[in-house]
Structure 1
Amino acid sequence: MAPIIVSIVSQHAEEAAFLWLLRNNAVHAPHYALKDLAKLDERVEAHLDGLRIAGDGGWEICKEGLGQQEPGEVFAAAVLAFESGDKDRISEVLEVGCQSVELSRGVISALGWLPYLQAKPHVDRLLTSDSALHRRIGIAVAAARRQDPGVVLESTLSSTDLWLKARSLKAVGELGRNDLLPVVKSNLNSEDPTSRFWAAWSGALLDEPSAIPVLQRLAEQGAERAESACAMAVRRMPVQAAHHWQRELAGRPETLRMAVQALGVIGDSAGIPWLIEQMAKPKVARVAGESLTMITGIDLAYEDLEGEKPEGFEAGPTENPEDENIEIDPDEDLPWPNPQLVERWWASHRLGFTNGTRYLLGKPMTVDWFNEVLRTGKQRQRTAAAIELSMREPGRPLFNTSAPGFRQQVLLQVR
């Protein structure tokens, strides 16, 4: 093999890692459609190809990148290591990838990236490993690929390793394992908040009523996944009960944002006048616009219903070096709605909606419409459609909207 040009191969490694980070954020972004995700994933794959062509030289550069201890670098190295089947390379990747949950995401994503038949032997070995960390990665990969690990999952649900147990509880819902509902129910009062959340999350997917109050408490307490808990709860509640709880959340400043999001999840146009009122409040204006879109399907930018960012409003880190706020603005990719323009738009469109009916993107929620949204919606909309679809058929595996875009396109027969 001809000598490699180190600078070019290094660039492939850097770009593969960087683009993986972009796609890791894109799968949850409000402005990415499946076609956009697929294009981004094709760029990742192109740089991985550059590393593959470089052979051993490509691996050595990726191996060096592992020293940065970043998930993107772990992803690139893991793809090459698992593709090669080289035990030493795999061991080096796992040694770094098992150091934290964040780093393990790179390993999980790499095994989710490879063709299934190529990944399966590695996943099987991880699932039967003596290491709880290895088994956790194996469960995560199997669940992400919607490949049921069978009795292994049943055993990991009773693990004393909290990370492994929590990931296994999540897998129950993802895989639609109705037979494991008794184990899920037994963990609804777990002392570990992460296990409690995933037990309730899976319980909601599998239509377990006792999961709903657990999700409500997690949301009200401001738990780590409070917004997800809130969304799952209202999806399973009768519309009027969901509205009642949403109003309670709206009455507390600390849960106002969740209340705004909840209306978008409920999908009932009865809440739209209140949503428009929230658009005058900078802290929740953009998420109110997103909830309006979730219900009506309106594209604020396309319909010229955008406003200006309020003067003096700051969210997320600023350019001021003395600013201690380093949290990313969660709404940075959402448009600012103009409340007056939106109100006029709604006045001319409200007769097309019936209060008490749940809508997603302007149409009543039906199985056929969920499948269409999976093909054509933006990522957050697609995720909502996937969850609603699974809830209507408890036991149906949850469609993975975070899977490689090119693989999703094949499954959904989209080009």
Structure 2
Amino acid sequence: MAGEAMSQYDPMNAAYGEVFAQYAELAAFLWEQRRIAVKRPDYVREDIANLESRLALQLDGLMTSIDAGWSACEAGLDIGEAGEVFAAACAALRSREMPRIQRAVEAGLVNPLATPGLVSALGWLPAEVVDPWIERFLAGKDMRHKYLGVAACSVRRQDPGDMLTAILQRPDCLQHEELHARALRLIGELRRQDLMAAVVTAENAQSQCVKFWGLWAAIMLGNKRAVENLKAFVFKPGPYQVRAIELAFRVLPVEYARGWISEMASDQALARSVVVATGVLGDPHAVNWLIGKMAEPALARVAGEAFSLITGADLKRLQATQPTPEGWQDGPNDDPADDVVTLDEDEYLPWPDKLKVAALWQRHGQNFMVGQRYFMGRPVSAENLKDGLMNGHQHQRHAAALELALLGEQSRFANTRARVSL
């Protein structure tokens, strides 16, 4: 028996198997790196593109032998992580083999933590590969498949046309909270004015998830009066607070927004949110206050980012940073709603040197007009925002895309986390 087993052993197949296993492992690892990178405040488009080139090489390696590549990816599905699902879904969809596609899709849907990898694969691959599947998902009876189709359209900023309308007219779809919420989000991203009635209805939903995305979509469609109903989400820590702040303080009149910020400042639990809101508002009136917050280690880095968002100052380039304060230890981000848990949400932000930043503001502050909103050192304008969208760091690019959509300068809200095209 031992001799028979030895005679069946093929060292070439074993060696090739290891190569394809490495392709699959690296693809999953690099996807996870990219997942973090698109949210990093120190990354620009070129950084993302370089990472994507490395990822594409691993995915192409998997396709040099479709069967061996799929076997390596399928083995990785047992891990149950989003990166492994991404690699498997890419390999399966490119193979065009139905059983493999079904296996990858089910692996991505059965575990909510792995679903982002499946959605990402549908955003990564070219239209000729995924469009037939997106249409099939949208037309399917399984609510999970419909959600997947809507989410794929969301990351691709692709309009499903009447299929989206039909979903919002079906009671069974509206009862599926995740599907309903993602459909509302897509309305706002695509700025589908024809679906305003569905948005208005959702604003009064019992589900907080549906209600938030209904309000978000309403504002994206131009109904700025809905911002008042967004206040509860701005003031309540939770999965919607950051998005609510990002939107509300770009829509509120400056004087009115200052009132909200003052009200938030009375609650110590909202200290960080106040700093974030100040940067979003872009009001130079608050810059001296932000500089003061740079003396508080817990708020220093996010205050520095808010200062840069308003003034356009690159603190690293201007040598206005300092080493990590002695004794400071980053803590984990334990938000269960955040799909990327890093050691600290300010981990990639520089530590500002308060005195040097104050000196910068002393020299240049007179160039800013109180009451005027600023983005990256210039008054908010389409030209300035388009430059930020192309050349800014990832946080700045996201802010610019949202501002442009609210100004009506884009037919759709640009996805700054989509695959980069240089």
Sort the TM-score into its range (normalised by shorter chain): over 0.9
Alignment match of 2:108 (pick from 97, 103, 119): 97
Runs of 4+ in structure 1 deviating by more than 4 angstroms, as ranges, are none
Which residue in the other structure is 2:34 paired with?
23
Judged with a 3 Å threshold, the aligned counterparts in structure 2 of structure 1 residues 404 and 214 are, in CA distance, closer, same or farther, namely same
1:152 aligns with 2:167: no
Alignment match of 1:247 (pick from 244, 258, 262): 262
**Structure 1, unaligned stretches of length 5 or more?**
319-325, 410-415
What is the deviation of 1:395?
7.6
Alignment match of 1:125 (pick from 121, 136, 140): 136
Q: CA RMSD in A?
A: 1.7
Q: Distance in 2 between matches of 1:211 and 1:307?
A: 42
CA contact (8 A) 1:215 1:232 kept: no
Which residue in the other structure is 1:412 paired with?
none
- The TM-score normalised by the length of structure 2 is 0.91
Alignment match of 1:309 (pick from 324, 335, 339): 324
CA contact (8 A) 2:134 2:149 kept: yes
1:166 aligns with 2:181: yes
Which residue in the other structure is 1:346 paired with?
361
Which residue in the other structure is 1:40 paired with?
51
What is the deviation of 1:315?
2.7
CA contact (8 A) 1:178 1:394 kept: no
Give the letter aligned to residue 297 of structure 1: G
Judged with a 3 Å threshold, the aligned counterparts in structure 2 of structure 1 residues 394 and 349 are, in CA distance, closer, same or farther, namely closer
CA contact (8 A) 2:34 2:51 kept: yes
Q: Which has the larger radius of gyration?
A: 2
What is the deviation of 1:317?
4.3
CA contact (8 A) 2:234 2:244 kept: yes
Q: Distance in 2 between matches of 1:246 and 1:164?
A: 33
1:185 aligns with 2:196: no
Q: State which drifts further: 177-186 or 123-132.
A: 177-186
Which residue in the other structure is 2:147 paired with?
136
Judged with a 3 Å threshold, the aligned counterparts in structure 2 of structure 1 residues 186 and 241 are, in CA distance, closer, same or farther, namely same
Q: State which drifts further: 97-106 or 265-274.
A: 97-106
Alignment match of 2:125 (pick from 102, 114, 120): 114
Alignment match of 2:223 (pick from 208, 214, 228): 208
Give the letter aligned to residue 31 of structure 1: D
Which residue in the other structure is 2:89 paired with?
78
What is the deviation of 1:197?
1.6
Q: Distance in 1 between matches of 2:409 and 2:307?
A: 28
What is the deviation of 1:365?
1.1
Q: What's the CA shift string for 1:55-86, capped at 9, x where partnerless?
A: 21011010110111100000000001111111
What is the deviation of 1:104?
1.5
Judged with a 3 Å threshold, the aligned counterparts in structure 2 of structure 1 residues 102 and 156 are, in CA distance, closer, same or farther, namely farther
What is the deviation of 1:394?
7.8
Q: Distance in 2 between matches of 1:291 and 1:383?
A: 14
- The TM-score normalised by the length of structure 1 is 0.93
CA contact (8 A) 2:157 2:412 kept: yes
CA contact (8 A) 1:98 1:104 kept: yes
Q: Distance in 2 between matches of 1:286 and 1:334?
A: 6
CA contact (8 A) 1:309 1:336 kept: yes
Give the letter aligned to residue 370 of structure 1: L
SS of the residue 2:114 aligns to: helix
What is the deviation of 1:405?
1.2
CA contact (8 A) 1:178 1:395 kept: no
- The correspondence of residues 365-404 of structure 1 with structure 2, limited to 5 A, is 365-393=380-408, 396-404=411-419
Q: What's the CA shift string for 1:123-163, capped at 9, x where partnerless?
A: 11111111111110101111221221112212323521111
CA contact (8 A) 2:254 2:371 kept: yes
Which residue in the other structure is 2:79 paired with?
68
CA contact (8 A) 2:382 2:409 kept: no
1:280 aligns with 2:295: yes
Q: Distance in 2 between matches of 1:267 and 1:16?
A: 39
Q: State which drifts further: 135-144 or 150-159.
A: 150-159
**Structure 2, unaligned stretches of length 5 or more?**
1-11, 334-340
Q: Distance in 2 between matches of 1:166 and 1:192?
A: 9
Alignment match of 1:363 (pick from 378, 386, 390): 378
Give the letter aligned to residue 64 of structure 2: I
Q: State which drifts further: 184-193 or 334-343.
A: 184-193
Q: What's the CA shift string for 1:225-281, capped at 9, x where partnerless?
A: 212111211111011111111121122111111110111111111110000011111
Which residue in the other structure is 1:413 paired with?
none
Which residue in the other structure is 1:57 paired with?
68
What is the deviation of 1:223?
2.7
Which residue in the other structure is 1:196 paired with?
211
CA contact (8 A) 2:45 2:394 kept: yes
What is the deviation of 1:213?
2.1
Q: Distance in 2 between matches of 1:18 and 1:211?
A: 41
Q: Distance in 1 between matches of 2:20 and 2:176?
A: 39
Q: Distance in 2 between matches of 1:380 and 1:71?
A: 23
Identical aligned pairs, as a percentage?
A: 37
Give the letter aligned to residue 184 of structure 1: V
